Amino acid sequence: EMMDKGIITVALFLSLFFFCSPFLRASGQENRHRSLDRKNASCVQPDMIEIIKDGMSSIYQMKDEEASKWFKEKCYNTSVGEYSWNCACFYWAFRAHSTINATDLALVALNSALGLAPNDPKLNSLIGEMLTKENNFTEAAKRFQTAAEYEDEDDQDYEDNIMKHWYNAATAYVQVGRAEDALAMYAKVLQTKKGADKWSVHNSMGLLLYDLGRPADAVAAYEAALAIESDHPAVLRNL
């Protein structure tokens, strides 16, 4: 009799397990998709802005010290910060701290924002600029590339933004002697609507191509630059 009860108990357990499994899997997949959506989302969103409007008001009123203090109290320390889940809070904290040259706090805020929205173009561009100032050009280039890849194509400034990001990435790669990578980034600049008309990009490509032992390609790049600026002395000198 005890064996029969044991068999019945196991049978009930298995029935519940197989009945509930699809729902558990669906719940797990839903949470995973939510996580992925959050990671790919823009840092600054309207519902987040409304919550931190008091701190933003201090920035707009140029009460810099007050703004920095407000954001430090509201955002910082992820275990107790009132708005530590709010990416926009960290972004505006970065702006507030930067205004009063609180560099260490600004960097903490920026990295915290990136932790919540790692693919946000604006955040990656900002951290890229900071890394450039620290001469960490390789990592800076990667950040600029991420910024370009995740720019919103519906943004009215899309073309200008990606051109700037690709150009910054190219410049960073030049600094560490990665000519091929720099050329690839410059090529992307030329693919943008305004980038093709930048004589300086063609000229920079010419210099890199010459250093790589490709004089014919370098001449073609210089000629492309002269087609835009026919008498530019720097290009004529290189040619």
pLDDT digits (tens, 9 = 90+) for 27-43: 443 333 333 343 455 88
What is the model's pLDDT at position 80? 58
What is the model's pLDDT at position 209? 97
- 97 has a pLDDT exceeding 90: yes
What is the model's pLDDT at position 50? 87
Structure tokens at 236: 């004529």
Mean pLDDT of 141-162: 93
CA distance readout (Å), 122 to 41, 144, 197:
12, 9, 25
Structure tokens at 135: 């001469």
Maximum C-alpha span of the chain: 102
CB 195 within 8 A of CB 201: yes
CB 150 within 8 A of CB 124: yes
How confident is the prediction for the chain on average, in pLDDT? Answer: 82
Selection from 73, 138, 86, 150 nearest residue 116 by Cα: 86
Which range among 103-107, 211-215, 222-226 shows the weakest confidence by mean pLDDT?
103-107
More confident residue, 10 or 215: 215
Structure tokens at 159: 């073309």
pLDDT digits (tens, 9 = 90+) for 9-27: 434 333 433 334 443 333 4
The residues spanned by each domain of the chain are 44-116, 119-185, 198-239
Question: Cα 233 to the chain's mean position, in Å?
Answer: 37
More confident residue, 9 or 121: 121
What is the model's pLDDT at position 8? 40
DSSP state, residue 79: T
Give the pLDDT band of residue 166 (cuts 50, 70, 90): very high
